[in-house]
Amino acid sequence: MKKAPSPITAKGPSDNLNFNIIDTLRARFLAGNQVRVIDFHESVRAEVMGAIKTLQDELPIVTGWQTVRQSFLSETRTRARSYHIPEAFLKEVAA
């Protein structure tokens, strides 16, 4: 009878990268900065989205849209989703 393979529990470099991203984003949010996924390199955007979703469990992160580029001639607008923490929460935490 074959045994089921044991789950992998070893931490790899991607786990450390994910924790670094979470710590970096937490610091940016608590400093009152807006975070846009488009500002990160394409290779780490999936990890950034995962980190933001993880941080939404512990911080009141609000989402919105921000216009990145707009052309009146072709009537197009490029928008990016932005994330931030409301000012009221930041004032409450600082007090």
Q: Does the residue 5 lie in any domain? A: no
Beta bridge partners of 79: 67
CATH number of the domain where residue 57 is located = 1.10.10
Q: Give me the tens of pLDDT residue by residue for the chain, a chain 95 residues long.
A: 556 555 444 444 455 557 788 999 999 999 989 999 998 999 999 999 999 999 999 899 999 999 989 999 988 999 999 999 998 888 877 76
Q: Does the residue 37 lie in any domain? A: yes
As a whole number of angstroms, the distance between CA 32 and CA 61 comes to: 11
Cβ within 8 Å of residue 1, ≥6 positions away: none
pLDDT of residue 93: 72
Q: How many domains does the chain have?
A: 1
pLDDT of residue 9: 46
Q: Does the residue 27 lie in any domain? A: yes
| Domain residue limits at 85 | 14-94
Q: Does the residue 26 lie in any domain? A: yes
Q: Does the residue 9 lie in any domain? A: no
pLDDT of residue 83: 95
Rg of the chain over Cα atoms, rounded to whole angstroms, equals: 18
Quote the pTM value. 0.71
66: which DSSP letter?
E
